[in-house]
Amino acid sequence: MSKIQSKLNIIPLGGLGEIGKNMTVFRYGDDIILVDAGLMFPEDDMLGIDLVIPDITYLVENKDKVKAIFLTHGHEDHIGALPYVMKQIGAPVYGTALTLGILQGRLKENGVSSEACKIIKPGDKIYAGNFKVEFIRVNHSIPDAVALAIHTPIGIIIHTGDFKFDQTPVDGQVTEFNKFAEFGDQGVLALMADSTNAERPGYTQSEKIVGQTFDDEFRYAKNRIIVATFSSNVHRIQQVVDSAVRYKRKVAVIGRSMVNVVNISMELGYLKIPEGVLIDIDESNNYTPDKIVIITTGSQGEPMSALTRMAMSDHKKVDIVPGDTVIISATPIPGNEKLVSRTIDHLYKLGADVIYEKSNGVHVSGHASQEEIKMMHNLVRPKFFIPVHGEYRHLIKHAQLAGSLGMPRENIVVGENGSIIELTRNSIGINGRVPSGKVLVDGLGVGDVGNIVLRDRRQLSQDGIMIVVVTIDKDTCTVVSGPDIVSRGFVYVREAEGLMETAKEKVQQALDKCEQSNVSEWSVIKSAVRDSLGRFLYEKTRRRPMILPIIMEI
Amino acid sequence: MSKIQSKLNIIPLGGLGEIGKNMTVFRYGDDIILVDAGLMFPEDDMLGIDLVIPDITYLVENKDKVKAIFLTHGHEDHIGALPYVMKQIGAPVYGTALTLGILQGRLKENGVSSEACKIIKPGDKIYAGNFKVEFIRVNHSIPDAVALAIHTPIGIIIHTGDFKFDQTPVDGQVTEFNKFAEFGDQGVLALMADSTNAERPGYTQSEKIVGQTFDDEFRYAKNRIIVATFSSNVHRIQQVVDSAVRYKRKVAVIGRSMVNVVNISMELGYLKIPEGVLIDIDESNNYTPDKIVIITTGSQGEPMSALTRMAMSDHKKVDIVPGDTVIISATPIPGNEKLVSRTIDHLYKLGADVIYEKSNGVHVSGHASQEEIKMMHNLVRPKFFIPVHGEYRHLIKHAQLAGSLGMPRENIVVGENGSIIELTRNSIGINGRVPSGKVLVDGLGVGDVGNIVLRDRRQLSQDGIMIVVVTIDKDTCTVVSGPDIVSRGFVYVREAEGLMETAKEKVQQALDKCEQSNVSEWSVIKSAVRDSLGRFLYEKTRRRPMILPIIMEI
């Protein structure tokens, strides 16, 4: 074995220093495998952007080396970039049945074939070049999540994916603690583990807790019950169904993604709904309100979602009426707090009783808290440690937790997206970088919106635009028409006629000056107009609209 | 006394169904008094807006009746609209020394005279028309806060302002429980009380807790300490100073509003800093890092604030270095979570140790939790109750709390901004409305940005703008120049030349068609261009930029 081949490179392309777009490359010699390919939702300042995916330049440049893609579970932040990745990378994609079921819907929407998808289950082993990957069942807020044991020529890497230790999972399928322990016995070179809740002391509660809350609410609710949650949380949906059955209510499902996931999960056997319980929303009028439960999307206050439409009295099929109980079984994802809060207020105004995060037991996290994280470390007992999946501060806290368990500081690497983390049997360190970053998806455009476009959108969003058009005779350099001024998003013109008139005069003065000094370069004229008008508007309004002079030549 | 005069109208113009812009009108016959006049920060969808103030049409229409304005404390959401209100309403403004000290700064910035301001202190009584207003000391996250006992011809109204019950306040000035109890003994017609924390069980912790946390951190910190907090939380600043003195550190203050408030508070005696402790930030290099504390703004991750600049390595005077301890002594205000989180991450990346909300005792709320709220009700024992200061759900929770103490449902009114709440000695109810709403302030413009401008800004922010200009000979109706296409915020033009070329052809086709069918109405030509180009762009990009056809005539 040559010297180069005794090194393993781990290259995170997403998920480090951020919550979302998780994606990790493993490279040994000329063999590459990829773990997950997630998307991220845009930051507030990415105006008009639909979603964000990792920069995969490195993968595309090495596409012939990519032997396989492995998926840990079916959440958007782990599979959402695949429609884009699979268009460029031809490798087989391995995931559990539910993961691939959800993925196939996404692929279809994007016109990508799902031929490359291969179903695996916990315990399976897949060979991919120099790698052998083994799947270990873990608990998370979606069924069928797995961790990976990646056998490499220099040792075993354990990648936890997203996980929690649920001692009483809804489907009875406990995390395979024994597998982690066995790998620990064999010796693990490095652990890569979920850092999302590394700030949270103690243990994350069991999903079962939420079922008990549902039971309590269902027992006392006198009218209709509406439950909003994440569509991918199939166990949560199962618990709503179970409570409905127990309290003799019918269940209607609304919201596009909720209907999709419920259908897939029933087909694949992850969701069990007894005959006759599920009804169409249109049939719900045949029952008294105390016999109905509606399961819906919208737990994040998303403007177009079913629950938000209900709250705004804008849903085609469901009107909220006094006496309804609405359970928002979720916690707002950072950035969504205000949307959720607005939804709650509107529901209250319509007379609903709203049960939300401030109540205990209405939601539990899908990620391990500090004690579970420590337990994972103590089961796996790795030589080296790389915290993954988290904002920078989560990674740091996770590194500190590992330190508190006795791992030497030099055995821990807190990387960044694009870092080439180099491992040998005896060492770990960062050795260079590959291209990495955020690729913005806006409509059909992937990566065509860059910093300049975003900067323009930001300026337009703040103070609008003012367009100045003049037609100039290019032979005589004299103005033959205009200047005309049109503004949008600056000020309501009917209320600012005086301002617009004076603005026009300012432009005229600037043009006259140019004419007097025989300026014939359009760019000089444009910047004279921009400066003079900009100064005038700022003085009068303290606003800085984008000023766009356009010269038409005849 | 005539029938009309035996009625009291309470009209909230802000603060109901929202956190912010608190403002309440009390009217008895032809006498009006106003309590507070606050601002609110813009919602996410109010693009480019600087701040939001209440609609004061009702006050302006009745300006001769306004006898006095009373302020409960110096926070922006209680005094921030005064520079605008005082330009139109000439009544005297009563507040405590610190409240008016802070207000005077704001008035000066806005070129408004502060002649109308009159300092009062707890225990003072002010007569204003038919009203007599008495001030009661309460605790809050700013010193010198008061509740009001408003004596009216039909009974006493207690307005709590913002409050908490701090049993060990930093300045030793406990809430005047006895006063509330005495009014309770006399009989209170109605209570209006702070609902901000009505969702929170138990008691709010004492401000002193934070001082203990500072002591703990200061004891162990080996290098420089930077504390970010709200500039108006003078007691918090006092505690930083106290810890600094205890651990022999010098204190430097940075951030415009922090420097302002520290100066005012020292002048007025609310902040006590021993001689020689306060240094200029420029002098801090004369000391070793373990002898320095910096107090700064930026606890909300505000983009232009001192702490955010430090985190982005963009502050003129302070570079964060490994070993610095940064204490963010605040909790993110809803909507600011992501900004704060980004600041924390950047500070960690620079090597600082960051202490923030996830740690216990680094911040306490300034608002009463459920047990304190109940205590307030039990001290005052009002006949009627109006929850104020809160989102709709907070008002509802507060109403439920009052109900749980035995108040009949019909004695509680949950109003909205603009509701005319009518009280007699024996009844309470809503009787009509006055104009109310949000007035948007953008630069120097107050209310000149309305729905149309905001709608345009939103569209511009999402997909940008595409401007199509043609010069047309108005006699022959033929195009003599153009069409030219200019876009901003849509797509980076250099990378989309082909698209822009085809777009131009589409416009040309639309123009040709108009010419062939002898269309000579500009508006018809414009909408032909808009439709044809819009359809083309949506098909190709799934984006909908604003399309702005401009026709120049010669």
Q: What is the ipTM of this complex?
A: 0.85
In chain A, which residue's Cα lies nearest the Cα of B474?
A: A481
Q: Which CATH number fits domain B7-202+365-446: 2.40.10.10, 3.30.565.10, 3.40.190.10, 3.60.15.10?
A: 3.60.15.10
Cβ–Cβ pairs < 8 A, chains A and B: 193
Beta partners for residue A484, in sequence order: A469
CA dihedral B468, B474, B478, B481 (to 10 degrees): -50
CB contact under 8 A, A464 and B457: yes
Decide if B481 contacts B473 (C-beta within 8 A).
no
In Å, how far is B413's CA from the nearest CA of chain A? 14
Known binder of ligand: residue A64?
Answer: no
Any idea which architecture A208-355 has in CATH?
A: 3-Layer(aba) Sandwich (3.40)
CB contact under 8 A, B345 and A553: no
CB contact under 8 A, A469 and B469: yes
In Å, how far is B444's CA from the nearest CA of chain A? 5
Distance CA B351, CA B197 (A): 36
Query: Which residues of chain B have a CB within 8 Å of the CB of A396?
Result: 348
User: DSSP 3-state assignment of A83?
Assistant: helix
**Cis geometry, peptide bond prior to residue B289 (ω within 30 degrees of 0):** no
Which H or E run contains A209?
Answer: helix A208-220
Tokens of B39: 């601002």
Known binder of ligand: residue B231?
Answer: yes
Residues 6 or more apart whose CB falls under 8 angstroms from that of B209 comprise B361, B364
In chain B, which residue's Cα lies nearest the Cα of A545?
A: B48
Distance CA B354, CA A393 (A): 9
> A140 φ, ψ to 5°?
-160, -175
pTM of the model: 0.89
Q: Which CATH number fits domain B451-553: 2.30.30.230, 3.10.20.580, 3.30.565.10, 3.10.20.30?
A: 3.10.20.580
Q: Pick from A5, A127, A10: which is nearest to A417 by CA?
A: A10
Q: Round the CA-based radius of gyration of chain A to a whole number and report it.
A: 29
User: DSSP 3-state assignment of A493?
Assistant: helix
Known binder of ligand: residue A263?
Answer: no
Decide if B453 contacts A491 (C-beta within 8 A).
yes
Helix A451-463 vs helix B451-463: crossing angle, to nearest 10: 180
In Å, how far is B9's CA from the nearest CA of chain A? 23
Known binder of ligand: residue B232?
Answer: yes
Which H or E run contains A100?
Answer: helix A97-109
CB contact under 8 A, A469 and B552: yes
List, by residue number, the catalytic residues of A: 194, 367
User: DSSP 3-state assignment of A245?
Assistant: helix
Beta partners for residue B445, in sequence order: B442
Query: Which residues of chain B have a CB within 8 Å of the CB of A462?
Result: 47-48, 457
In chain B, which residue's Cα lies nearest the Cα of A470?
A: B552
Q: What single letter denotes the amino acid at residue A452? A: I
Pick from A338, A464, A554: CB nearest B44: A338
- Of B194, B242, B324, B463, which one is the catalytic site residue? B194
CB contact under 8 A, A484 and B550: yes
Distance CA A71, CA A145 (A): 9
Decide if A12 contacts A388 (C-beta within 8 A).
yes
In chain A, which residue's Cα lies nearest the Cα of B17?
A: A345
Sign of CA dihedral A257, B44, B343, B389: negative
- Specify whether B194 is catalytic: yes
Query: Which residues of chain A have a CB within 8 Å of the CB of B484?
Result: 550, 552
What are the start and end residues of each CATH 3.40.50.10710 domain in chain B? 208-355
Residue recorded with tokens 């961790």: A147
**Which runs of E-coded beta strand occur in A459-532?**
465-473, 478-488
CB contact under 8 A, A393 and B345: yes
Known binder of ligand: residue A73?
Answer: yes
Q: Pick from B206, B209, B213, B212: which is nearest to B325 by CA?
A: B213
**Cis geometry, peptide bond prior to residue A334 (ω within 30 degrees of 0):** no
Mutate to test the interface with B, among A50, A336, A346, A392 (most CBs of B within 10 A): A392
In Å, how far is B5's CA from the nearest CA of chain A? 33
Known binder of ligand: residue B437?
Answer: no
Pick from A335, A460, A469: CB nearest B550: A469
What are the start and end residues of each CATH 3.60.15.10 domain in chain B? 7-202+365-446
Q: Pick from A22, A87, A11: which is nearest to A54 by CA?
A: A22
Residues 6 or more apart whose CB falls under 8 angstroms from that of B81 comprise B14, B21, B23, B37, B38, B39, B53, B54, B56
Tokens of A238: 């199962």
Q: What is the pLDDT of residue B430?
A: 97
CB contact under 8 A, A464 and B489: no
In chain B, which residue's Cα lies nearest the Cα of A488?
A: B456
**Which runs of E-coded beta strand occur in A275-355?**
278-279, 292-296, 325-328, 353-355
Pick from B393, B460, B463: CB nearest A488: B460
pLDDT in tens, chain A (554 residues): 445 558 999 999 999 999 999 999 999 999 999 999 999 999 888 999 999 999 999 999 999 999 999 999 999 999 999 999 999 999 999 999 999 999 999 999 999 999 999 999 999 999 999 999 999 999 999 999 999 999 999 999 999 999 999 999 999 999 999 999 999 999 999 999 999 999 999 999 999 999 999 999 999 999 999 999 999 999 999 999 999 999 999 999 999 999 999 999 999 999 999 999 999 999 999 999 999 999 999 999 998 999 999 999 999 999 999 999 999 999 998 888 889 999 999 999 999 999 998 667 899 999 999 999 999 999 999 999 999 999 999 999 999 999 999 999 999 999 999 999 999 999 999 999 999 999 999 988 888 888 899 999 999 999 999 999 988 887 777 888 878 999 999 987 666 778 888 988 989 888 888 778 777 788 888 888 999 999 999 998 889 999 999 988 88
Pick from B489, B491, B550: CB nearest A445: B491
Any idea which architecture A4-202+365-441 has in CATH?
A: 4-Layer Sandwich (3.60)
**Which runs of E-coded beta strand occur in B378-518?**
382-388, 419-423, 428-433, 438-442, 445-446, 465-473, 478-488
**Cis geometry, peptide bond prior to residue B483 (ω within 30 degrees of 0):** yes
Distance CA A352, CA A238 (A): 24
